[in-house]
Amino acid sequence: MVLLLPTTTYRATDFLAAARALGVDVVIASDQLSPTADTGGVRAVEVPFDDPEQAASLLTSLDDRGPVDGIVAVDDQGVMIAAYAAEKLGLAHNPPDAAARTRDKRALRDALAAAEVPQPRYAEITDLEHLPDVGFPCVVKPAALSASQGVIRADDEATALAAARRADTIACGGPLLVEEYVPGFEVAVEGLLRDGELEVLAVFDKPDPLVGPYFEETIYVTPSRYAPAVLTQVEQLTQRAARALGLREGPVHAELRIDGRRIRVIDIAARSIGGLCARALRFGAGISLEEVIVRHAVGLPLDDLAREDAASGVMMIPIPKSGTLRAVGGQDDARAVPGVVGLEISIGIGRPVVALPEGNRYLGFLFARADTPAAVEHALRRAHARLAIAID
């Protein structure tokens, strides 16, 4: 299996562990390999992530030395490379044009609109001084960024113009959208596509209201506490969205907003949940989400994809302000909270931290398991309250 690992990913360790557990040989493909890079004895090649077609050509040459059975993009940056390379090698894949729609929010919105999938009203911003009218409040966002980077709510014309200028700077002049602000709470759907059919692996509630002005995600808890009828609609909309984009194979991660009886698709990506959040999930006899993805990619059996019985969740620890991280105190106290099963601080002491909307990383991740979703949420909040984050 070829594993596309950008240097900025959190997920190298977990995917390599999954491959080892399954006895799958791995070649790491990364955008930057230093002569002293430690790949744990795994063969590695450098490919240009900013030129997906050229990167795919380099990867297909690996097949001449030994059959490549699967290609996995762990993050958004590798999605296009995986699509092109899998197409060239005749592997099950997402068509490149479908993968491209997930990387361009304007193309994504247009595809959903053509298929009449419920979503926010939207328009492309072509003049930073005269924004299209989608009503207020609205949300300004870069078309090509992810992880809520550059996403800003505005409640009137003046703040919308200011948000557009700020988002334009964050996007380095890249295309921007303005969208209708959708009230309500969000859910996240984790799924696996096989020949175009979606199998929902988990639905996460996001109990913290994402109302802006920035949209920093924090807590994910599963199973969802919404009624079965609502979850059925969520799953059906996610399937419709995947079909509208033309996605056919591999993991998908979708975000939807629920406002009373209305459910609308906010985003859908052709990759699994980001960061270290996948550690909140276990399937069948305790296998990880990464193992599920590797099994699918190389054609190994996927017999039992039922999520474990226990409730579980993760908190993406927010960065309260930009600066230099000096200390994260209270870690032992946080780990001692009943129900907490893990804490990972992913930014080193002395390193710069950048808050939203400019930032695109989290300080770290808290994990919890319990009998109920409410107990999981409570454990995560208690543990977070015990952390003392010092930023200069």
pLDDT at 304 (0 to 100): 80
Helix extents (H) in 186-308? 228-245, 289-298
Write out the residue limits of the CATH 3.30.470.20 domain(s) in the chain. Answer: 310-392
- What's the rounded Cα separation, in Å, for the pair 266 and 289? 23
| Residue ranges, the chain, pLDDT below 50 | 36
310-392, what's its fold?
D-amino Acid Aminotransferase; Chain A, domain 1 (3.30.470)
Q: What is the pLDDT of residues 41-76, one digit of tens each?
A: 788 999 999 999 999 999 988 867 778 999 999 999
Does domain 2-101 fall into CATH 3.60.15.10?
no
* pTM exceeds 0.85 for this model: yes
Domain formed by 121-180, architecture: 2-Layer Sandwich (3.30)
pLDDT of residue 362: 93
The string of pLDDT tens digits covering residues 134-163 is 999 999 999 999 989 999 999 999 999 999
Check residue 147 and give its pLDDT. 86
Whole-angstrom Cα distance, residue 80 to residue 18?
Answer: 23
Q: What is the pLDDT of residue 99?
A: 97
* Residue ranges, CATH 3.30.1490.20, the chain: 121-180
Query: From CA 208, how far away is CA 151, in angstroms rounded?
Result: 17
Taking each continuous run of H as one helix and of E as one strand, the counts in the chain are: 10, 19
Taking the C-alpha atoms of residue 8 and residue 205, their distance in angstroms, rounded to an integer, is 27
